[in-house]
């Protein structure tokens, strides 16, 4: 469970007293995620998500993340609003850590998405990219190609080998991929972490895109590649589902057609997406403290996906009818 910080009832009530949301009725830790502590909060006025920022988030980045939610929500994207304090602040400090209250959106994250769901997620991603083009704040991608190399080097060959003997080879792959990384692709705000557990659905409809704490300004096609790598494989990684992958791309292009340069770059962008998760998962595996209520994620899952994209190339992104 992704709860690093223990907040008792009294501390939770004091925190929520900063907001005009009514009296606390219940608070339950949320299992998903590895970087922050999260709770589902119920008050006299409804449900909210409380996030305490633990790792990989700079305090100076919070206005970008939280203002972005308000911007996208105002542009009719299925994104939760930030709940502001009685003073108008978008976050508060608790024992030296920042915490924010976010609008709760109904829905269920799909564990076995349908092609229609993937199509609608692709459309929602494209609409988010279009809406993000006039967001005034900017933030660089701190998890770009150089970061993959840095994280893998920080793990060290010994640390990587302890996870899996094949993992140290990824450092060479990361260096080679960084050298080939395409410049000058069209950019906007990107989510960069749109896994199924960061999407809420009511039936086939996208009711929410959540967890924007890796959002930044970067290539829109890279964000599509990240989402493709996150959605298009079964749980065992033994099978790629072309119906899911094709529907995702088709749904995206129904709102924002890809340029030729973007389409040609997709296989390499997807390999980069896999390296990003290989590196961050490996570092999380090594750094997760004993006793933390966090389930570590296997970086080898994305080693297998990287191999698929390297072998399949552009064929992996061929749209197919729902």
Question: Residue 320 — pLDDT band, cuts 50, 70, 90?
Answer: low
Overall average pLDDT of the 148-160 stretch: 96
Shared domain for 54 and 177, answered yes or no, is: no
Question: Residue 32 — pLDDT band, cuts 50, 70, 90?
Answer: low
Is residue 54 assigned to a domain? yes
Closest among 56, 68, 220, 75 to 139, alpha carbons compared? 68
| Per-position DSSP letters for 167-223, written without gaps between them | TTHHHHHHHHHHHTPPP---EEEE-S---GGGEEEETTEEEEE---TT-EEEEHHHH
Shared domain for 59 and 85, answered yes or no, is: yes
Per the CB < 8 A criterion, the answer to whether 221 and 265 are in contact is yes
Looking at 62, 77, 103, the residue that finishes a domain is: 103
Over the range 233-267, which residues count as b (16 or more CB within 10 Å of their CB) and which as e? beeebeeebbbbbbbbbbbbbeebebeeebbebbb
Any residues with CB less than 8 A from the CB of 273 and at least 6 apart, and which?
222, 225, 226, 228, 229, 230
| Per-position DSSP letters for 102-141, written without gaps between them | EE----B--SS--HHHHHHHHHHHHHHHHHHTT-S-----
Overall average pLDDT of the 118-128 stretch: 98
Tokens, residue 24: 């606390």
Is residue 14 assigned to a domain? yes
Beta bridge partners, 43, equal 24, 46
CA dist., res. 98 & res. 139, Å (int): 19
Is residue 158 assigned to a domain? yes
Question: Residue 7 — pLDDT band, cuts 50, 70, 90?
Answer: confident
Is residue 239 assigned to a domain? yes
Number of alpha carbons in the 13 Å side-chain half-sphere of residue 215: 28
Is residue 94 assigned to a domain? yes
Per the CB < 8 A criterion, the answer to whether 206 and 78 are in contact is yes
Is residue 265 assigned to a domain? yes
Number of alpha carbons in the 13 Å side-chain half-sphere of residue 179: 6
Domain count, the chain: 2
pLDDT of residue 80 exceeding 60: yes
CATH number of the structural domain spanning residue 209: 3.90.1200.10
Shared domain for 224 and 301, answered yes or no, is: yes
Looking at 47, 70, 103, the residue that finishes a domain is: 103
Structural domain harbouring 14: 9-103
Shared domain for 13 and 134, answered yes or no, is: no
Query: Mind listing the pLDDT tens digit for each residue in 226-245?
Result: 999 999 998 766 689 999 99
Range in 9-13, 48-52, 175-179, 230-234 the model is least confident about: 9-13
Shared domain for 121 and 197, answered yes or no, is: yes
Helices 220-231 and 242-253 cross at an angle (nearest 10°) of 150
Shared domain for 235 and 266, answered yes or no, is: yes
Query: Mind listing the pLDDT tens digit for each residue in 244-292?
Result: 999 999 999 999 999 999 999 999 999 999 999 999 999 988 887 665 5
Shared domain for 210 and 186, answered yes or no, is: yes
Looking at 103, 130, 146, the residue that finishes a domain is: 103
Size of the chain, expressed as the number of residues it contains? 322
CA dist., res. 261 & res. 10, Å (int): 55
Is residue 110 assigned to a domain? no
Beta bridge partners, 46, equal 43
Shared domain for 233 and 120, answered yes or no, is: yes
Shared domain for 121 and 98, answered yes or no, is: no
Shared domain for 50 and 156, answered yes or no, is: no
Query: Going by DSSP bridges, is the β-strand pair 36-43/24-29 parallel, antiparallel, or unpaired?
Result: antiparallel
Shared domain for 48 and 185, answered yes or no, is: no
Percentage with pLDDT > 90 across the chain: 78
Question: Residue 293 — pLDDT band, cuts 50, 70, 90?
Answer: low
Measured between its terminal Cα atoms, the distance across the chain in Å is 35
Shared domain for 211 and 285, answered yes or no, is: yes
Task: Give the predicted TM-score (pTM) of the model.
Answer: 0.90
Is residue 186 assigned to a domain? yes
pLDDT of residue 201 exceeding 50: yes
CATH number of the structural domain spanning residue 15: 3.30.200.20
CA dist., res. 159 & res. 286, Å (int): 7
């Amino acid at each position: 469970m992704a709860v690093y910080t223990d907040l008792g009832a009294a501390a939770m009530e004091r925190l929520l007293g900063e907001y005009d949301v009514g009296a606390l009725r219940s608070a339950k830790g949320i299992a998903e995620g590895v970087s922050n502590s999260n709770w589902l909060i119920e008050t006299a006025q409804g449900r909210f998500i409380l996030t305490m920022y633990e790792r990989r988030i700079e305090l100076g980045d919070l206005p970008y993340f939280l203002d972005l939610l308000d911007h996208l929500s105002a542009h009719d994207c299925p994104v939760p609003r930030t709940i502001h304090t009685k003073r108008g602040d978008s976050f508060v400090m608790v024992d030296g850590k920042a915490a924010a209250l976010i609008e709760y959106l109904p829905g269920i994250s799909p564990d076995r998405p349908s092609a229609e769901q993937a199509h609608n997620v692709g459309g929602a991603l494209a609409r988010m990219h279009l809406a993000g083009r006039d967001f005034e704040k900017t933030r660089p991608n701190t998890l770009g190609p150089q970061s993959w190399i840095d994280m893998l080097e920080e793990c060290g060959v010994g640390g990587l080998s302890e996870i899996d003997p094949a993992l140290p080879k990824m450092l060479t792959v990361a260096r080679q991929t960084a050298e080939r990384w395409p410049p000058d692709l069209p950019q906007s705000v990107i989510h960069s972490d749109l896994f199924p557990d960061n999407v809420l659905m009511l039936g086939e409809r996208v009711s929410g895109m959540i967890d924007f704490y890796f959002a930044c300004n970067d290539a829109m096609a890279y964000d599509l590649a990240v989402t493709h790598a996150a959605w298009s494989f079964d749980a065992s990684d033994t099978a790629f589902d072309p119906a899911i992958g094709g529907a995702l791309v088709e749904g995206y292009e129904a709102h924002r057609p890809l340029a030729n340069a973007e389409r040609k770059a997709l296989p390499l962008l997807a390999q980069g997406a896999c390296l990003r998760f290989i590196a961050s998962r490996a570092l999380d595996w090594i750094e997760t403290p004993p006793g933390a209520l966090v389930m570590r994620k296997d970086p080898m899952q994305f080693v297998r996906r990287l191999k698929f994209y390297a072998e399949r190339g552009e064929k992996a992104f061929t749209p197919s009818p729902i």
